[in-house]
Structure 1
Amino acid sequence: MSGSPVLTFLGAAGTVTGSKFLLEYENHRTLIDCGMFQGEARWRRRNWDTFPIEPRTLGAVVLTHAHLDHCGYLPALVRQGFHGPVICSAATAQVAAIVLRDAAHLQMEDAVHAGTGGYSRHDPPLPLFDTEDAERAIKLFRPVPESGRADLPGGGAVTLHRAGHILGSTFAVVELGGRRLAVSGDLGRPDHPLLLPPEPLPGADAVVIESTYGNRLHQPLDHARLARLITSTVDRGGVVLIPAFAVDRTAVVLRELTELTRHELIPHLPVYVNSPMALAALSVYRTAISQKSAELRPEILGGDDPFDPGDLRLVHSVDESIRINNPGRPCIILSASGMATGGRVLYHLERLLPQAKNTILLPGFQVAGTRGRQLLDGARAVKIHGHYIPVRARIADLPEFSAHADADELVDWLSSTPEPPEAVYVVHGEDDARQALAERIDDELGWTAVTPRHLERVRL
């Protein structure tokens, strides 16, 4: 392939998940992000499609961050023959290892459940990848040096810049064939309680930008409302269950619960963290604090433990997890996954959803087709482990906890570049969000903004 580089949208085009962007020039191929599709069955089925190119021909994969919809397909890619370097930040290498090991465990566990429950269309049910695939993928991680810049196999280079979304998150600027492509990954918010905001956007010929909240604006976190939701549940003798992403979201929610408790806005309660992945991610956060990571806000680096409301209980074993299904007193349980697609939170939902005294708090975006979205949309029953569970608990949305930049913040980030790009490709959003952001970019910035289709190819 000669001429200018070619960009192909292998994921996150028409949906919020499955981020994969293929950059080709002459005989060089680099994949930027390698995410799993999540949510509705029509998207999840794409994880099982034949990969559009031979994975062995990829020179490298660049990961912007460690969320499953950006890194979770990597073990499947390795299973199919990819063996090149996986370039990422040092913190992403740490966190992605946790995420991939957990994902492999859940893949294998779900296959067993499907087999014993008889609710799979496959016989026998198989995981997309297993723990061996995950370990092989982890061995390919190549953290970038402190400069954030790394050479790409066969030519070109990539520079990773702070994105402020989760610990280790970056946006990537790839230089190849005399052109520069910036890929936003997921952009964080200027007021993230733990992380510094995204760095400005350098000049680039083209930009790929996420649009999760491309048609919405975040409101400031209503601390009083959250306190009321918790105290009213306690008054009913109920349990507050928070399905929270293990990476970052659990830490942010614990930070808020700690502040509410210290200011006596909620009673002192046992707070259980029941997710092996969340516990491992918390450990990475605490290490970053002790090492005074340049990603963290200065106010987090000193003082008391920002993640301990006073009665923090870390749940490690399955037996402990089972016991807190009947805690015997009001408490707060944080468990993954954040959109209730799998993990230990499902067992808590089975137990707690049928009781009106309990409250389920949903802190952040819920992808269409997930149980979290079904609950948010008012489902009277949700299917868990092959059975329908009645929904009588109170369901409350807390979108203010989202770690994604909103529409104004996305436009502000684009505006920080010293020179307009030739084109902006709006991805990683539902169609209405993508279109709204593209129209704003066109109207307010006067730039060419398009919403690419799945598998569409464009020249840079």
Structure 2
Amino acid sequence: MDVTVKFLGGAGSVTGSKYLIDLGEFEFLVDCGLFQGRRELRERNWDKFPMPLEQLEAVIITHAHLDHVGYLPRLVKQGFKGPIYCTEASSELIKILLLDSGKLQEEEAEFARKKGYSRHDNPQPLYTVEDAEAVFPLLVPKPFDQAFEIHPKVKVTYFHAGHILGAAITKILIKGNSQEKRLVFSGDLGRFHDPLLFPPTLIPKADILWIESTYGDRIAPKVKPEEELGSAIRDTFDRGGLVIIPSFAVGRTQLVLYYLFKLKEKGKIPKVPIFLDSPMAIDATKLYLDFSTDHQLTAALEEDQHPFNHRQLRYFQKQEQSMSLNEYRGNAIIVSASGMATGGRVLHHLHHHLPHERNGVIFVGFQAEGTRGRRLVEGEKYITIYGNQVPVNAKVYQIDGLSAHADQEELMEWAEGFTERPKMTFIIHGEEKSAEVLADKLKNELSWNTTIPNYLESVVLFEGI
């Protein structure tokens, strides 16, 4: 039996992860991500899937971020009907994220139609909310640390990866005619000292390894985000102001809520109202309560004993609740999406509160070039929101050290956990520079055989096993 892999995404870029494994008699996909970012990457989402979908028999998901699951509705729309395996928490997160993605696809197509900027006469969404919902019956949730069979010759085991709730390092055991082989996919690895999530599991052996390289060329700053966050909040409260924290709904928001709880408990910030104003972030946060064994927080859910369930924290699902904060005066904290201020409810809060110098805006993540968040941290005095020029008189802060991605040192620490060198290691899910730097480091320091694959490249993994 020969085994091959075809790189349908996550190769030469940090997006669109898709790896097609072909055993001859059985073909399956590891991850099914959406291409995001540059236009030439996004246009790949519209390409026809490069194989007849009746031949594709299963999909294995590492975690629920859109660059790993966002293509699923498109795959199902084109005819895929097989099982989609994922961890139990990922199954619920996938539903939340795909519904939101489908809604955004519909809104973008409608906006392009109204404004007439599309090159198509009648622009269509890549997929709709209905297309997203068609994925849900195919999801097959599986627990961590328990092997399950997807074919008589293929067993899969999920191990904790950190990164986000439900994220998994995926081991795939392939039983050949004469021997067994281990494929290991890192997925996206989290931090080794994350206060919420378990550290990435060390895997002793892999014949073939796929390792992400998002931060393969970077070492995270040695900062104390809890202290910096507390300082910015106290500074704002001393002016009699209100704090707005734009935050990504999945992962980052929950980490921010944890730090706010710890600051409150230690008496480093006063016990003021904390408004979580993002339906998606609320849904994601509640999953931490549902899947209490998938993270490090205590299982105590009594009032005032849990970062996501205490007296000061208020969940605002309804639009009217959100709008009521527009005229809020005094000390309070609003956590709202999106994290780069590109859309979502946080824009309402920025529109109303940026003009007042007593207020503070705290960014808790990387701000990409061209986003409102980037312009605000760079000190622009006016920002366009809803077509209006809004004066920026509020003080803007940026907190580092909250990334959910393993940095270069942590990627190397995970790699050093292997007791035997993999026979072949593919450096994936990274931009060209980060992939090259990590490949060289693994080669020079651990004597690994590393390869940086190209988009749509096919490689024979095993012959005649």
Match in the other structure for 1:283 = 286
Q: 1:148: Cα distance to partner?
A: 2.8
Please say if 1:418 is aligned against 2:419: yes
Output the TM-score relative to the length of structure 1: 0.89
In 1, are the aligned partners of 2:377 and 2:397 still within 8 Å (CA)?
A: yes
Separation in structure 2 between the aligned mates of residue 378 and residue 153 of structure 1, nearest angstrom: 56
Q: Which has the larger radius of gyration?
A: 2
Match in the other structure for 2:40 = 42
Q: 1:338 to 1:12 in 2, by over 3 A?
A: farther
Match in the other structure for 1:193 = 195
In 2, are the aligned partners of 1:254 and 1:308 still within 8 Å (CA)?
A: no
**SS of residue paired to 2:339:** coil
Separation in structure 2 between the aligned mates of residue 386 and residue 371 of structure 1, nearest angstrom: 13
In 1, are the aligned partners of 2:159 and 2:201 still within 8 Å (CA)?
A: yes
Q: 1:156: Cα distance to partner?
A: 1.7
Match in the other structure for 1:181 = 183
In 1, are the aligned partners of 2:271 and 2:312 still within 8 Å (CA)?
A: yes
Separation in structure 1 between the aligned mates of residue 22 and residue 385 of structure 2, nearest angstrom: 42
Q: 1:86 to 1:431 in 2, by over 3 A?
A: same
**SS of residue paired to 2:333:** strand
Please say if 1:107 is aligned against 2:99: no
In 2, are the aligned partners of 1:259 and 1:309 still within 8 Å (CA)?
A: no
Mapping of 1:85-124 within 5 angstroms?
85-124=83-122
Q: 1:322 to 1:232 in 2, by over 3 A?
A: same
Separation in structure 2 between the aligned mates of residue 372 and residue 428 of structure 1, nearest angstrom: 25
Please say if 1:446 is aligned against 2:444: no
| Alignment length (residue pairs) | 454
In 1, are the aligned partners of 2:298 and 2:306 still within 8 Å (CA)?
A: no
Mapping of 1:323-338 within 5 angstroms?
323-338=324-339
After TM superposition, the structure 1 stretch with the greater mean CA deviation from structure 2, 358-367 or 399-408, is 358-367
In 2, are the aligned partners of 1:190 and 1:197 still within 8 Å (CA)?
A: yes
Match in the other structure for 1:297 = 296
Please say if 1:261 is aligned against 2:264: yes
Q: 1:147 to 1:197 in 2, by over 3 A?
A: closer
Separation in structure 2 between the aligned mates of residue 354 and residue 69 of structure 1, nearest angstrom: 36
Output the TM-score relative to the length of structure 2: 0.88
**SS of residue paired to 2:259:** helix
Q: 1:162 to 1:282 in 2, by over 3 A?
A: same
In 1, are the aligned partners of 2:87 and 2:142 still within 8 Å (CA)?
A: yes
Separation in structure 2 between the aligned mates of residue 214 and residue 33 of structure 1, nearest angstrom: 20
Q: Among all aligned residue pairs of Structure 1 and Structure 2, give the percentage whose two residues are the same amino acid.
A: 43
**SS of residue paired to 1:401:** coil
Separation in structure 2 between the aligned mates of residue 82 and residue 241 of structure 1, nearest angstrom: 43
Q: Deviations over 1:241-277 (max 9, x none)?
A: 3222222221111010011122222233322111111
Q: Deviations over 1:16-35 (max 9, x none)?
A: 22221111121422111111
Q: Which amino acid aligns with 1:264?
A: G
Separation in structure 2 between the aligned mates of residue 353 and residue 57 of structure 1, nearest angstrom: 54
Match in the other structure for 2:400 = 399
Separation in structure 1 between the aligned mates of residue 119 and residue 351 of structure 2, nearest angstrom: 24
Separation in structure 1 between the aligned mates of residue 218 and residue 149 of structure 2, nearest angstrom: 37
Q: Which amino acid aligns with 2:453?
A: P
Q: Select 2:214's aligned residue among 207, 212, 220.
A: 212
Match in the other structure for 2:30 = 32
Q: 1:79 to 1:318 in 2, by over 3 A?
A: same
Q: 1:326: Cα distance to partner?
A: 3.5
Q: 1:108 to 1:346 in 2, by over 3 A?
A: farther
Q: 1:397: Cα distance to partner?
A: 3.2
Q: Structure 1 stretches of 5 or more lacking a match?
A: none
Q: 1:396 to 1:428 in 2, by over 3 A?
A: farther
In 1, are the aligned partners of 2:22 and 2:28 still within 8 Å (CA)?
A: yes
**SS of residue paired to 1:78:** helix
In 2, are the aligned partners of 1:62 and 1:87 still within 8 Å (CA)?
A: yes
Separation in structure 2 between the aligned mates of residue 376 and residue 451 of structure 1, nearest angstrom: 34
Match in the other structure for 1:8 = 6
Q: Select 1:234's aligned residue among 228, 234, 237.
A: 237
Separation in structure 1 between the aligned mates of residue 282 and residue 112 of structure 2, nearest angstrom: 27
Q: Structure 2 stretches of 5 or more lacking a match?
A: none
CA RMSD between the two structures: 2.8
Separation in structure 2 between the aligned mates of residue 8 and residue 240 of structure 1, nearest angstrom: 48
Q: 1:182: Cα distance to partner?
A: 0.9
Separation in structure 1 between the aligned mates of residue 251 and residue 140 of structure 2, nearest angstrom: 22
After TM superposition, the structure 1 stretch with the greater mean CA deviation from structure 2, 58-67 or 9-18, is 9-18
